[in-house]
Structure 1
Amino acid sequence: MSDPADRDWAPPDPGAVNRRPERAEPSPESAAPRPPAGAYPAPYPYQYGQYGPQPPFVRGQWTVPTPAGSPYHRMARTGAHRWWRPLVGTVAILVGGFAMVLVLGVVALIVSSLITGEQPNLEGTGDSILGNELADLGLNLATLAVFLPFALLVPWLVQRRRPGTVSSVVGRLRWRWLLVCAGLAIAFCAVSFGTSWLADLAVDDPAEANERWVGWGRFLAAAAVIIPLVPFQASAEEYVFRGWLLQAVGACTLETARGRIGRALSVVFRTPWPGIVVGGALFTSGHGYTGWGILDIFAFGVIAGWITVRSGGLEASIALHVFNNFLAFLAPAAVGRLDIVQGAVPWQYVVADVVPMILYAVGVLWLVRRLGIETTVPGPAEAEPEPIPAASGH
């Protein structure tokens, strides 16, 4: 009796040995559409590329945002802050600025020699270096203005924050607010001119009795140098002393300080006053005044720093500085004096200077409230950040 399996057996087909089996076509229901490049769902961590899945490319972000709700003096206190960044940045501004001053001075000496055909006065004797008082004035103003780009570049390069954060809490210079402050500064000049006239009556200065109007020709020539350069010179000083220095000191809040003295210092350094005082003192040291004149310049620096913090930006202090220097340079130029004589200053002139500055500061504070000027970084206020570990510095 034969096996039933033998009845189903058939000899193999010799041609089927090397024949490739046919692929079964998938049904429309089972065929999944191929997703386009980059269209994988969120849980899938890769993008579909030409040669299969590829890791996503994430572009690095250099600048670190300032926490919302931060006042102006603490805008450098970002997630990238370390104790050494303000120090390195200060050195970078000084080195870069003085290097540009050296380059500018050499270029000015070469140009002056080519124009006049005379050797420059490198020994420092006499009243002029370039052989012309007006050219010396322009050089002096320009050597201060060259610090402006470094005060904007160093915060981005060293502290990893946008250059506009030095201008104001909104990350840029507020031009409309600057124009409003300029109008107020014109009123300041009018008041300052009046108080200076009263001080002249109280101080008997024989040299002023011989001063005479130099004529429109000489005055306009001096104005053509003073008016274009003073805004850059004054702005550079504000960006360095009321901008960079104020924020550099304000970033050192000593949050990780321990002990009673450390906690007390931390409370003080959270306020803007250490930065205001340090900036005002260094600003005063850059001038050659003595006696009451030191108090005059220091008062200017402190008032400028105070209105910078209270207005959330440099616009008010820039306007004050620019128009104050317009008055300080143009008034002597009208009687033929192109150099600002520094040294001892009678106390009457100090009072004549400080009173208009105080009135200007009061006016700025009133306008800030009246116009609703931003004084902190816009956005929802965040909770106080966690203290940075001691290894990271403060």
Structure 2
Amino acid sequence: MYIAQAYNHLHDWWRYLLPIAGLLGLSALNYAVILLLDIDVDTIIKEEIAKKGSNRVFLENIAPMALFLVALFVWVKYVHKQSIRSLTTARKKIDWGRFWFGFGIIAVTTIVLTGIDYYANPDDYVLQFDLVPFLFLALIAIIFIPLQTSFEEYMFRGYLMQGIGVLAKNKWVPLVLTSIIFGGLHFLNPEVEKLGSVMMVYYIGTGFFLGIITLMDDGLELALGFHAGNNLVAALLLTADWTVFQTNSVLKDVSEPSAGFDIIAPVFIIYPIFIGIMAWRYKWTGWKDKLLGKVEPPPLIEEDTIDYVH
């Protein structure tokens, strides 16, 4: 039902072309510049932090996502004649309880696991808490990280999931494609350079996890909350010299990273547990149809729709 809502609005293939081309084009251009000019991204990040401070660099990197989110909402409203509510959920209204459940499940898990590892391996961490820089970081993160993660969720699990779904007329194609594209666009993250291409298992696996809970729950609320909770806790609690978020967080990981169990555990152990908990809480049924079934026009047009396009 979530994907099929796009049928109630203007969903010609060419309407999806510009946002997709813009996203992939900017990413390809960024990759080409880095490759052709042989740019060391990690070195540039460190130089910028030394010159401007980590809070300012963090803000400069994350603030454009807020503009991208606004642009996407404007495009959806005026080009597709679609409400933000129907891009968000198949429910009559956005369920903020689901958002906070998704937020809480990853925030609590991350804090607990980090705390356990901190006390088990204290030499791997440095306590770098500094109140004033941390408060500025918290202000920036609380405002802008939800906007950053919301853009990614609305773009991939929302806009592209619905657009590819009505074009492919099934659910597995958008699930696979959005997950691969989502993961692929993280290829330039410093973590990939440091740990190798095995990190793509984590990024693509995360895309599949977020796509699965979106399709099973008929809405973005869980994915929106989960993604925001994951990135917000990551920025405030723990940083390292080789991560994409190098912030004035509470802790700094000074251990030598390795691409091992820590990379694959979330995808093959933690995410399935989360899916099981969510499935139990929200009584998910019809797995085969919701993940692999056909996408067909809904029998009724909802009250807030404007046009139906054959």
Match of 2:246 among 335, 339, 362: 339
Q: How many residues align?
A: 258
Counterparts of 1:287-366 in structure 2, within 5 Å, are: 287=186, 288=189, 289=192, 290-332=196-238, 339=246, 346-354=259-267, 355-366=269-280
Would you say 1:382 and 2:264 are equivalent positions?
no
1:349 CA drift (Å): 1.5
Match of 2:5 among 75, 78, 81: 75
> What is the rounded CA distance, in whole Å, between the counterparts of 1:315 and 1:160 in structure 2?
21
> What secondary structure is seen at the aligned counterpart in 1 of 2:152?
helix
Cα-Cα RMSD: 3.8
Counterparts of 1:7-22 in structure 2, within 5 Å, are: none
Cα deviation code 1:232-254 (max 9, x no counterpart): 1111111111111111110113x
Match of 2:142 among 193, 212, 227: 227
Q: Conserved in 2, the CA contact under 8 Å of 1:141 and 1:233? A: yes
> What is the rounded CA distance, in whole Å, between the counterparts of 1:132 and 1:241 in structure 2?
32
> What secondary structure is seen at the aligned counterpart in 1 of 2:89?
coil
* Structure 1 spans left out of the alignment, 5+ residues: 1-70, 99-122, 254-269, 376-380, 384-392
| Greater share of helix | 2
Q: 1:171 to 1:163 in 2, by over 3 A?
A: farther
Q: Conserved in 2, the CA contact under 8 Å of 1:213 and 1:334? A: no
> What is the rounded CA distance, in whole Å, between the counterparts of 2:70 and 2:9 in structure 1?
24
| Letter paired with 1:350 | I
Would you say 1:165 and 2:86 are equivalent positions?
yes
| Letter paired with 2:48 | S
> What is the rounded CA distance, in whole Å, between the counterparts of 2:45 and 2:163 in structure 1?
39
1:227 CA drift (Å): 1.6
Match of 1:252 among 167, 170, 179: 167
Q: Conserved in 2, the CA contact under 8 Å of 1:292 and 1:345? A: no
Q: Conserved in 2, the CA contact under 8 Å of 1:148 and 1:235? A: yes
| Letter paired with 1:72 | Y
> What secondary structure is seen at the aligned counterpart in 2 of 1:161?
coil
Counterparts of 1:50-89 in structure 2, within 5 Å, are: 71-78=1-8, 80-89=10-19
> What is the rounded CA distance, in whole Å, between the counterparts of 1:81 and 1:235 in structure 2?
22
Cα deviation code 1:342-380 (max 9, x no counterpart): xx852221244333333222222223228xxxx9xxxxx
Q: 1:308 to 1:217 in 2, by over 3 A?
A: same
Q: Conserved in 2, the CA contact under 8 Å of 1:93 and 1:151? A: no
Q: Conserved in 1, the CA contact under 8 Å of 2:2 and 2:218? A: yes
1:214 CA drift (Å): 2.6
Match of 1:148 among 57, 69, 87: 69
Aligned residue for 2:250? none
Name the TM-score, length of structure 1 as normaliser.
0.56
| Letter paired with 2:172 | W
Q: Conserved in 2, the CA contact under 8 Å of 1:153 and 1:163? A: no
1:281 CA drift (Å): 1.5
Cα deviation code 1:72-96 (max 9, x no counterpart): 123223474333232244346778x
Q: Conserved in 2, the CA contact under 8 Å of 1:230 and 1:322? A: yes
> What is the rounded CA distance, in whole Å, between the counterparts of 2:63 and 2:45 in structure 1?
22
| Letter paired with 1:366 | W
Q: 1:225 to 1:79 in 2, by over 3 A?
A: closer
| Letter paired with 2:173 | P
> What is the rounded CA distance, in whole Å, between the counterparts of 1:365 and 1:171 in structure 2?
21
Q: Conserved in 2, the CA contact under 8 Å of 1:304 and 1:317? A: yes
Q: 1:324 to 1:166 in 2, by over 3 A?
A: same
Name the TM-score, length of structure 2 as normaliser.
0.69
Aligned residue for 2:34? none
Q: 1:91 to 1:217 in 2, by over 3 A?
A: same
> What is the rounded CA distance, in whole Å, between the counterparts of 2:19 and 2:102 in structure 1?
33
Aligned residue for 1:3? none
1:198 CA drift (Å): 6.4
Cα deviation code 1:166-209 (max 9, x no counterpart): 1111465x1xx32344135323322234445667899x897x35
Aligned residue for 2:110? 192
> What is the rounded CA distance, in whole Å, between the counterparts of 1:188 and 1:249 in structure 2?
28
Would you say 1:282 and 2:181 are equivalent positions?
yes
Aligned residue for 1:368? 282
> What is the rounded CA distance, in whole Å, between the counterparts of 2:223 and 2:181 in structure 1?
16
